[in-house]
A and B are shown apart, each in its own frame.
Chain A
Amino acid sequence: MIALPATALASTAVEGIGQAFAAASGAQISLSLAISALLFVIGLVGFMVRRNMIIMFLCTELMFQGAALAMVTFARMHMDVSGQVFVIFILTVAAAEAALALGLVVLLHRRRETLSAEVWSDLGEA
């Protein structure tokens, strides 16, 4: 880590440094975070209100989107690519989930001829 006076950097417009290493605009970061939160919450609400199992999984994908966007935003905010790496992992999980979940959905659909999640409520303990 290089000890550099902050004032020196703020005023230094480094030639050719590129957008990735320029201080990002606070408003852009905030907006992106807000969108990620909105996507996440909308996905969440969707998960809670929709009764179609496939759509419910779609809503979880929406939440993944929100999370991924937040990761990207933070990566930008801190100028560190780790956030972007995490998006790749998110993609991995989403893909795995899609594979398994959709397989499961198809299985369930076969058994009860419907996609409604409620017909499976007898799996709950109540």
Chain B
Amino acid sequence: MSADFPIPQAVVAPELAWVGLALLLPLVSAVLCTVCAIARLPGKLPAVFTVLALAASFVVVLRAYNAYSGPVQVPIFEWMSFAWGDGRFQQFTAPCALYIDSLTLFWMLFVTGLGTLIALYASEYMETEKGAGYARFFFGISIFLFAMSSLVMGDNLVMLYLGWEGVGLASYLLIGFDYQRPSAVAAAKKAFIMNRIGDLGLALGIFMLWANYGTLQYSQLFQAMNSGGQTVVDWDVSLIPFLLMLGAFGKSAQFPLFTWLPDAMEGPTPVSALIHAATMVTAGVFLIARMYPFFALHPEALATVAWIGGGTALLAATIGMAQYDIKRVFAYSTISQLGYMFLGLGVGTTYGACYHTFTHAFFKALLFLTAGAIMHGFAGQLDLRKLSGVRHIPGWRLVSWTMFIGCLWLAAFPYTAAFFSKDAILLKALTSTRWDFVFLGWLGLFTAALTAYYTFRVWFRVCCGPVHFEPAADGHHADASPDAHGHGNAHAAKAGHAADHGFHPHAPKWAISTVLALLAIGTVAAGFPAYNEAFAHGTNWAQKMIAGSSAAAGAQAVEHAAAPGAGANADHAALGTVLGMDAHTGLLVVGATASIGGILIAAYLHLLSRASADALRRALLANWFIRWLPICMERKWFVDEIYHGLFRLPLWLGSQVLHFGDKHFLDGVLVDGIARIPIAAGKLFRPLYGGALQGYAVSMVAGVALVLAWMTWVWLRGFE
């Protein structure tokens, strides 16, 4: 990293302390929710508090955006700070303060915005949980928003870590919201623990940054980088990106640590939409974007990110193709899309990655919320084999079509926002000078086709075709888990097996509908920056936002290091070619082909001739040489089983051995054994003390003899 691409320096601006309200308001709402729970206040009061607080916090962020003129550092109060000397390395400073630059605002805008909308949605969705459960839910949401804000807006890595674990806690509480169901509890536990593994990496990365730079505040870290800080000089330093990466992969469900996310769908759907699709899982992307300059500390760090991202994208897409539970399909699609973002970060386009995060947040939240609406209305049914033609049921049109929009965006249909954001990533990869990035680019394109296929598989199956539905029943199918709320279960119990038993889906009411509509509009609008650039040749707002932050400076430096001589504004100049065409055109063609191809295949298999899909599956399974593929895809590549066998089982057995050893060897043999020595010695001499006179005499004489022997020994030695 050289000073050629300086990271904008932050100004200390205590007068902006009001931005801290964005953190404080969700916390206040959390407290109010607690009060509601304690006082057993009836009604939707918690939801009101939460929605109001989140909306206010959104407004605060908007105002901050308006007031924004450059990176600022806003001190609030001292949290953990002490010094034992005057030197730079003789202090530990982690104040409660805000660091606001364009990246922060970019993230906070969609976090608080989507948070507000989803809270509104949940106010209706969770209405069957009135009372303590209702308050508990909104407590979780508020805590989540607080933690996420702290993660994004924190001035230092310790605050980021606070938010990082805080969102993990919120995730834990909300996944396990329906705590009576063991699967939900297990999923919550799994999510927290797998995240903890990543968190350890993050914590170690933080320590290493501190050990090497003597500070944990972004502004000072960036200053150190600007003033010609280290490049690859030191084994310690070059490990930093890898450790941070581990944290990011944990939180964003990337390859080694992704299995918790599908399980997290045990949580109520708004939670899945907000936390496990739109916001929390993008924290990893945020972390890498925020610390981007430090990823140049090792030449292969970003390549690792790219490989993991690309690989996870494909892996998750293959699994998503073979799932039947709508939420799980979307969960795997989330992992896959997150993979794209990491691919973007890895190949050097922070803009692409962040913009994709932005667009993804909208359409994925939309998709989840429509899935939630269906689940809400169909008594927890999420198996796409048991739902069909929802589009034709009265009252469900809005849901179907907003879902369609979401699917189009997820499939990266040409000229949708996601198309542009994905393009930015793939373009960067395909035009890279590194062969492996080009390969990853093609892999990404293939994954895009798969994405288009499985996305529309869901939509064609659920929304089109003949009208047919079954409410979920307990134990009816194993692989799709019923949703959390008791409402669905109650219905299921009443409704029995099929529709003709008097089950009627109830269409969403105003809150859900409004939110779906708003989100659909948001999804479309999210493409505006790209449209402005592509069609009006105006400025790309998103790109501008990213370019003003640490992420861009790092990207330029990486770019510079990879291809010295290329200009700073590399996205426009000196682009390579794709299939012999101009890069933009080429990618438009290829991307459109992949997307439309995927959709067409889905249309054939799941709309026009559903029988052929089953026939294809049977044919694949019948073929001895190819059957591993569908089996692996359906069984999620056995990752859970492998982890179980590789880590959990040996550790568990080891624990049992240790437990046994502790009880019977360490305590039983060693400690008790040593304690038994005096007892045994006592038993040995016991006959001497049976009360008979001679016994005492013997011991007395022995004692006298011993003492005299010693004295004589000393005395005799005196003569030598």
Binding site for B on A (CB under 8 A): 44, 47-49, 51, 56, 117-118, 120-126
Contacts and interface: CB of A to CB of B under 8 A. Distances in A.
Ranked 9 nearest A-B pairs via Cβ = A124-B691, A121-B691, A121-B692, A126-B689, A48-B694, A48-B697, A118-B692, A48-B698, A117-B693
B692 A47 contact: no
Interface residues of B, number: 12
Contacts of B694: 47-49, 51, 56, 117
A122 B691 contact: yes
A48 B704 CA distance: 14
A125 B690 CA distance: 8
Contacts of A124: 689-692, 695-696
A122 B690 CA distance: 8
B697 A126 contact: no
A126 B691 contact: yes
A70 to B, nearest CB: 15
Interface string B686-713: 1001111111111001000000000000
A120 B698 CA distance: 17
B694 to A, nearest CB: 5
Nearest to A50: B694
Interface in B669-698: 686, 689-698
Contacts of B690: 121, 124, 126
Majority SS of interface residues in chain A? helix
A47 B697 CA distance: 8
B716 to A, nearest CB: 16
Contacts of A121: 690-693
A122 to B, nearest CB: 6
Nearest to B692: A121
24 contacts: A44-B697, A44-B701, A47-B694, A47-B697, A48-B694, A49-B694, A51-B694, A56-B694, A117-B692, A117-B693, A117-B694, A120-B691, A120-B693, A121-B690, A121-B691, A121-B693, A122-B691, A123-B691, A124-B689, A124-B690, A124-B692, A125-B691, A126-B686, A126-B689
A49 B697 CA distance: 10
B695 to A, nearest CB: 8
Contacts of B697: 44, 47-48
A74 B278 CA distance: 107
Nearest to B691: A124
Contacts of B698: 48
Contacts of A49: 694
Nearest to A125: B691
Contacts of B686: 126
A126 B692 CA distance: 10
A13 B415 CA distance: 141
Contacts of B696: 124
Nearest to B688: A126
A51 to B, nearest CB: 8
A97 B455 CA distance: 113
Contacts of A117: 692-694
Interface centre among B686, B691, B698, B701 (most CB of A within 10 A): B691
Contacts of B691: 120-126
Interface string B65-95: 0000000000000000000000000000000
A109 B691 CA distance: 18
B436 to A, nearest CB: 85
Contacts of A47: 694, 697
